[in-house]
Amino acid sequence: MADNLITGTTILEKESKTLKTLSISPADFVSENPDSDDVTIRTNRATDNAGGATFNTGIFLPQGAVVISCIMYGNAGAADEDWALTRSPFDGTTETMGTAGIKDADIDIDYGTIDNDNYTYSIGTSALGNGDEIYGVKIVYNA
């Protein structure tokens, strides 16, 4: 049975018995850069108030899930910046699974099978501009 997935402006067709979506709120993000006075994090948006902020959050998916697509939503200003979905083995290194511009989906995910025994998972932004906002993330996966 084919399911249609809408991610941003892209329609995907995938064969799946158990297609699921993980939504991530801006309230889950932390700012890695500047001072906390320079960012505002609310339930519906994370805002860079000074320029140069990067936002990051952990991702928690079930063991063996297969990530199909990922998109980060944001305002028009943030569309000039990028997001990256990453996995990290327990040795301090990081591997990129997917990346795109904010407001764009990546449908070609590397290392898509979740292996919680050997990796942690996160998503983060490049440095944002003053007034840029993140509205959330949607990850589509098979479980």
The residues near 76 (Cβ < 8 Å, ≥ 6 apart) are none
Task: Write down the pLDDT at residue 3.
Answer: 44
Q: pTM of the full predicted structure?
A: 0.86
- pLDDT range class, residue 17, cuts 50, 70, 90: low
Q: What percent of the chain is modeled with pLDDT above 70?
A: 85
Task: Write down the pLDDT at residue 18.
Answer: 86
Would you say the C-alpha torsion 58, 60, 65, 70 has a positive or negative sign?
negative
Between CA 2 and CA 13 the distance in angstroms is 6
Whether the CB-CB separation of 76 and 131 falls below 8 Å is answered with: no
- pLDDT range class, residue 5, cuts 50, 70, 90: low
Domain 16-142, CATH among 2.60.120.260, 3.60.15.10, 3.40.50.2300, 3.40.50.1820: 2.60.120.260
